Chains A and B, each alone.
Chain A
Amino acid sequence: MFNKILIANRGEIAIRIIRACREMGIKTVAVYSEADADALHTLLADEAICIGPAPASESYLNMERILTATAVMKADAIHPGFGFLSENSKFVEMCEKCSISFIGPSAEIISCMGNKAQARKTMMEAGIPVTPGSKEPVCDISEARAAAKEIGYPVMIKAALGGGGKGMRISYSDEDFDTNFFTAQRETILAFCDNTMYIEKYIQSPRHVEIQILADKYGNVIHLGERDCSIQKNHQKLIEESPCNAISEDLRKRMGETAVKAAKAAGYENAGTIEFLLDQDLNYYFMEMNTRIQVEHPVTEMVTELDLIKAQIKIAAGERLGMTQEDIRINGHAIECRINARMAGTITNLHVPGGKGVRVDTAIYNGYKIPPNYDSMLLKLIVHDEDRELAIAKLKSALGELIIEGVDTNIDSQYDIICHEAFAKGEITTHFIPTYFELTKE
């Protein structure tokens, strides 16, 4: 087992990892930027080291500084959390060269899955259903147009290296195709310095359903059921739950087996997520694989009673999974609600809810000054109860009790979503927000 882990991240996920390490008796090193000297992760870790100025490019994204900090603080492993360097294959390669354990998959897998076109190809070869689309990536408008025609409108135009909705456009006919293609490609070039695009069938009103998997170094792979992350705005997830109310026991088993097969095909190791689109007729298609821990991992933890961060650490240290698929049981229903700040500022008053089945993952505290440089997520409120109805009731109660003063947040708009009739009925698709909340601000 590791002696000391450096957490190359900040915010609530850094806290989450530090807590897991504390429980396991592993020493922790926090890295922080000049803007984060008073951040909770800096304070809670056993040791902390400043790695540069506030901009992420000069601190949390600066590979040399983080590796140097690891060497100086004599840590033997790095947990990357999510975002920042978590899916940067070059960083992982550097860790490998410096004999530092990276808690996550190998550089090779990250690089393969990070390229959407390549990931799709790997999955198609493994017999995993993917959305109908161009077999090869396209750069040129005429190739793209031909591909769109063959697939049939509506189509999705995507950046091969894309993420977070950048370089993504829907085209409904060949009349609007060129404009959309050029816009998406321009965004892609600006964001990723690459013009490789990808055309695929646009699935109307799907659900975003993802399967959590765990894989050890010895080829054992299990899945931990699904998460429904359909409530999104501009491709940013807002509310996630497990299990998904549209999925039967049988479908769960099939999707889970597919995910395990996909992970095995990729030679995967550590925790990962396979994202699927689930259409109205319950067909599912591989979208992408996330090679890191995800923001919404707590809902899986609540229904499976497993600790995913601890599992990640154990796998990276070379331990076996120690359980089989038969040991995994999905109990009750969990929902996570993300609370974001709409501005930087100081938390003047904070009250967090509690009680049975209520979990709060956050790095904010009374008097905490939110720096303007980073992600806006402040807190994750997770509830767990026997079934979906009870979980929604608990979430309503807990969210109603959550008070954050000093900065404007999305608490009220999240409350509106969970109170919506369609949400209660479980009629959720990725179009939920645009359909019901088009005119609201969040």
Chain B
Amino acid sequence: MIKDMFKKVINPSTAKEESEVNIPEGLWKKCNKCGQPIYTDDVKKNFYICPKCDGYFRIHAKRRIKMVTDLGSFKEWQDEPVIHNPLNFPGYEKKLEEVREKTGLSEAILIGKAAIEEHPVVIGVCDARFLMGSMGESVGEKITAAVERATKEGLPVILFACSGGARMQEGIISLMQMAKTSAALKRHSKAGLLYVSVLTDPTTGGVTASFAMLGDIILAEPGALIGFAGPRVIEQTIGQKLPEGFQRSEFLLEHGFIDRIVEREELREELGKILGLHEKKDYREILANSEENKKRFESPNRPSEMTPWEKVELSRKTDRPTACDYIYRIFDDFIELHGDRYFGDDGAVVGGIARFAGIPVTVIGQQKGRNTKDNIRCNFGMPSPEGYRKALRLMQEAEKFHRPVICFVDTPGAFCGIGAEERGQGEAIARNLYEMSDLKVPVLTVVIGEGGSGGALALAVSDEVWMLENAIYSILSPEGFASILWKDSKRAGEAAKVMKITAVDLLKLKVIEKIIKEETPANQSNIEGLSEKLKGDIREFLANYMNLEIEELLAHRYNRFRRM
């Protein structure tokens, strides 16, 4: 080998003792998630996220508060640190003292008042270094007292969960903290105040089964372990290996229990946005004083040259703008919220909060895809029961915070399948009709494409229903109609004609209030203009309906259907 043939040329006169290189202690740490060595400075600069695997490290309460609140705004609400040992558990008091000494914290939660992007808020953060952030009497008391004070002072509450659950050493008294904190939050909610729960790794046991899951909005950090029973306990009980990703944030999002997963570096901005959208203000002034109200667009009443069947085809075209196309153009600051809090998150229904001309609103739409991949996610715009339940959950939240609701309808119909029936498709639709009829905020529905049957009506028990010129709204699809009445689905064109499903027909039948004119059939190139037109009309709708007394509003909605 040539290696051995190269002659060495080291100069003996310059060759000194070999030097020692000292890598300072703590320059690197080993990531406990991917096992890679990581440069400590990088982790600190990167929100305590591993730069190699993007794994999230747990962070101390104080650091968390510094990360999400405005500089210097946090004032701790301190109480006298007391030691509760209701069971006289041996060694517990000594243990508590040791942990207090070690962490410099009086208990497993740090709580106080702060500002986030200039919005005042009561904030509490669990610290996992303190007996795994577990909830005993002191923690329960701190949370309860803070929530009560927030209720009194009319402040929103944000709690960061990072806890193993109820504290074992305090036994049944710990269990009672679950009820105590939940009860305080109920009173806070009844006062019309916002509670945002942020779930971080880990959120388990009695904390999950109480305050952590009760947020009006529940956020989670990526990859956090969230569950009631711990994974090890479940594995031992059922004797099965749990699947990858089980009980992680992403799993919970898929199963409808959290609204959003938020990256740590975006948390502060997102919380600020959410708080801003829940600010208590009288927004009617904005509309009353606005010159914009005078901008009006003509509704066409001209006879259409197209046959009803041609309109059916138009309403189903893949290049027709979808709900999201309108939502992102008409509204600002849209924050999508997910899940029905029972079973899943339905991609066929998109919903969330946003601003319209500065006014917070709730927006819900049935979403179709443009390609196969999108369509698998949103099931070709056919909602499942969890989609309707998500919509209802968001509407009820809108009611709590006095936000108008705007719905976009575009569905061939509610999904028909085994799972949908098992989970009560009919019940879900019925429940929406029932609750929407009495929703104490203005509700507007715009049919943008297909308005298929009960699946559409479940988002259309509204104060006004509008249709795009080439949209359709019917008892069922013309194909279905033809096959039921004439046993021949090929006669769909004929059915379309007799069913009276076009906007012009429905305006005549007084099923809808307004037609949004399409100069040319809606598509990606004219959507900007259409959205502008809708904006003007929505503004007028809000100006009219937000000024009604609740009784008047509800009576109007009741009569709208009563007369049909």
Q: A-side interface residues toward B, CB under 8 Å?
A: 1, 3-4, 22-27, 43-44, 46, 63-64, 67-68, 70-71, 74-76, 90, 93-94, 97-100, 365
The 4 lowest CB-CB distance pairs between A and B, nearest first, are A25-B11, A43-B3, A74-B18, A71-B21
Q: Are A3 and B6 in contact (CB under 8 A)?
A: no
The chain A residue with its CB closest to the CB of B2 is A43
Give B337 Cβ to nearest chain A Cβ, in Å: 28
Q: Are B28 and A64 in contact (CB under 8 A)?
A: yes
Supply 18 A–B pairs (Cβ within 8 Å), ascending by A: A3-B15, A3-B17, A3-B19, A4-B18, A24-B14, A43-B1, A44-B3, A46-B8, A67-B23, A68-B23, A71-B23, A75-B19, A76-B21, A90-B39, A93-B41, A98-B22, A99-B22, A365-B2
Q: Are B14 and A99 in contact (CB under 8 A)?
A: no
Chain A residues with CB under 8 Å of B417's CB are none
Q: Are A63 and B39 in contact (CB under 8 A)?
A: yes
Known A25-B10, A25-B14, A43-B3; judge A4-B23 contact (CB<8 A).
no
Give B145 Cβ to nearest chain A Cβ, in Å: 44
Give A306 Cβ to nearest chain B Cβ, in Å: 21
A25 to B39, CA, bound (A): 34
Residue B16 interfacial (CB < 8 Å): yes
Q: Are B10 and A98 in contact (CB under 8 A)?
A: no
Q: Are B20 and A74 in contact (CB under 8 A)?
A: yes
Chain A residues with CB under 8 Å of B19's CB are 3-4, 74-76
A255 to B560, CA, bound (A): 83
Residue B24 interfacial (CB < 8 Å): yes
Known A27-B10, A43-B2, A94-B27; judge A74-B39 contact (CB<8 A).
no
Q: How many residues of B contact A (CB 8 A)?
A: 26
Chain B residues with CB under 8 Å of A70's CB are 21
Q: Are A94 and B39 in contact (CB under 8 A)?
A: yes
Q: Are A25 and B22 in contact (CB under 8 A)?
A: no
Residue B306 interfacial (CB < 8 Å): no
Residue B37 interfacial (CB < 8 Å): yes
A64 to B9, CA, bound (A): 30
A23 to B7, CA, bound (A): 12
Chain A residues with CB under 8 Å of B24's CB are 97-98
A39 to B15, CA, bound (A): 26
Q: Are A97 and B10 in contact (CB under 8 A)?
A: no
Give A85 Cβ to nearest chain B Cβ, in Å: 13
Number of A-B contacts (CB under 8 A): 66
Q: B-side interface residues toward A, CB under 8 Å?
A: 1-3, 6, 8-11, 13-24, 27-28, 37, 39, 41-42
Give B7 Cβ to nearest chain A Cβ, in Å: 9
Give A361 Cβ to nearest chain B Cβ, in Å: 17
The chain B residue with its CB closest to the CB of A26 is B14
Give A342 Cβ to nearest chain B Cβ, in Å: 27
Give A25 Cβ to nearest chain B Cβ, in Å: 2
Q: Are B21 and A75 in contact (CB under 8 A)?
A: yes
| One of B3, B9, B16, B28 near A22 (C-beta < 8 A) | B9
Q: Which of B10, B18, B21 counts the most A-chain CB atoms under 10 A from its CB?
A: B21
Q: Are A3 and B21 in contact (CB under 8 A)?
A: no
Give A156 Cβ to nearest chain B Cβ, in Å: 32
Give B190 Cβ to nearest chain A Cβ, in Å: 45
Q: Are B39 and A98 in contact (CB under 8 A)?
A: no
Give B144 Cβ to nearest chain A Cβ, in Å: 44
Chain A residues with CB under 8 Å of B28's CB are 64
Chain B residues with CB under 8 Å of A26's CB are 10-11, 14
Chain B residues with CB under 8 Å of A100's CB are 21
The chain A residue with its CB closest to the CB of B23 is A98
A46 to B41, CA, bound (A): 34
A368 to B88, CA, bound (A): 76
Give B542 Cβ to nearest chain A Cβ, in Å: 30
Known A46-B10, A64-B37; judge A27-B15 contact (CB<8 A).
yes
Chain A residues with CB under 8 Å of B42's CB are 90
Give A238 Cβ to nearest chain B Cβ, in Å: 31
Give B13 Cβ to nearest chain A Cβ, in Å: 8
Chain B residues with CB under 8 Å of A90's CB are 39, 42
The chain A residue with its CB closest to the CB of B13 is A25
A74 to B19, CA, bound (A): 6
Chain A residues with CB under 8 Å of B2's CB are 43, 365
The chain B residue with its CB closest to the CB of A74 is B18
Chain A residues with CB under 8 Å of B9's CB are 22-23, 25
A22 to B42, CA, bound (A): 37
Chain A residues with CB under 8 Å of B37's CB are 64
| One of A3, A67, A94, A98 near B18 (C-beta < 8 A) | A3
Chain B residues with CB under 8 Å of A74's CB are 18-21
Q: Are A44 and B6 in contact (CB under 8 A)?
A: yes
A46 to B11, CA, bound (A): 12
Q: Are A1 and B14 in contact (CB under 8 A)?
A: yes
Q: Are A98 and B15 in contact (CB under 8 A)?
A: no
Q: Are B15 and A25 in contact (CB under 8 A)?
A: yes
Chain B residues with CB under 8 Å of A68's CB are 23
A94 to B1, CA, bound (A): 36
Known A63-B39, A90-B39; judge A99-B21 contact (CB<8 A).
yes
Chain B residues with CB under 8 Å of A99's CB are 21-22
Chain B residues with CB under 8 Å of A76's CB are 19, 21
The chain B residue with its CB closest to the CB of A91 is B39
Q: Are B11 and A98 in contact (CB under 8 A)?
A: no
Give A31 Cβ to nearest chain B Cβ, in Å: 14
Chain A residues with CB under 8 Å of B8's CB are 46
A402 to B15, CA, bound (A): 39
Give A167 Cβ to nearest chain B Cβ, in Å: 22
Chain B residues with CB under 8 Å of A43's CB are 1-3, 6
A97 to B25, CA, bound (A): 10
Given contacts A25-B11, A98-B21, 19 further A-B contacts (CB under 8 A): A1-B14, A4-B19, A22-B9, A25-B13, A26-B10, A27-B10, A27-B15, A43-B1, A43-B3, A44-B6, A63-B39, A64-B37, A75-B19, A76-B19, A90-B42, A94-B27, A97-B24, A98-B23, A100-B21
Give B362 Cβ to nearest chain A Cβ, in Å: 30
Give B36 Cβ to nearest chain A Cβ, in Å: 8
A74 to B17, CA, bound (A): 10
Give B369 Cβ to nearest chain A Cβ, in Å: 24
A63 to B36, CA, bound (A): 12
Chain A residues with CB under 8 Å of B1's CB are 43
Give B121 Cβ to nearest chain A Cβ, in Å: 30
Give B256 Cβ to nearest chain A Cβ, in Å: 33
Give A16 Cβ to nearest chain B Cβ, in Å: 16
Chain A residues with CB under 8 Å of B22's CB are 71, 98-99
The chain B residue with its CB closest to the CB of A25 is B11
Give A90 Cβ to nearest chain B Cβ, in Å: 7
Q: Are B6 and A97 in contact (CB under 8 A)?
A: no
Give B254 Cβ to nearest chain A Cβ, in Å: 28
Give B116 Cβ to nearest chain A Cβ, in Å: 25
Give A62 Cβ to nearest chain B Cβ, in Å: 9
Chain B residues with CB under 8 Å of A1's CB are 14
Chain B residues with CB under 8 Å of A67's CB are 23
The chain B residue with its CB closest to the CB of A6 is B21
Chain A residues with CB under 8 Å of B20's CB are 74
Give B12 Cβ to nearest chain A Cβ, in Å: 8
A3 to B20, CA, bound (A): 11
Chain B residues with CB under 8 Å of A25's CB are 9-11, 13-15
A7 to B23, CA, bound (A): 18
The chain B residue with its CB closest to the CB of A365 is B2
A100 to B23, CA, bound (A): 9
A98 to B27, CA, bound (A): 9
A375 to B23, CA, bound (A): 31
Give B34 Cβ to nearest chain A Cβ, in Å: 13
The chain A residue with its CB closest to the CB of B36 is A64
A100 to B42, CA, bound (A): 20
The chain B residue with its CB closest to the CB of A3 is B16
Chain B residues with CB under 8 Å of A46's CB are 8, 10
A316 to B67, CA, bound (A): 40
Give B24 Cβ to nearest chain A Cβ, in Å: 6
The chain B residue with its CB closest to the CB of A67 is B23
A43 to B14, CA, bound (A): 23
A25 to B10, CA, bound (A): 5
Give B348 Cβ to nearest chain A Cβ, in Å: 31
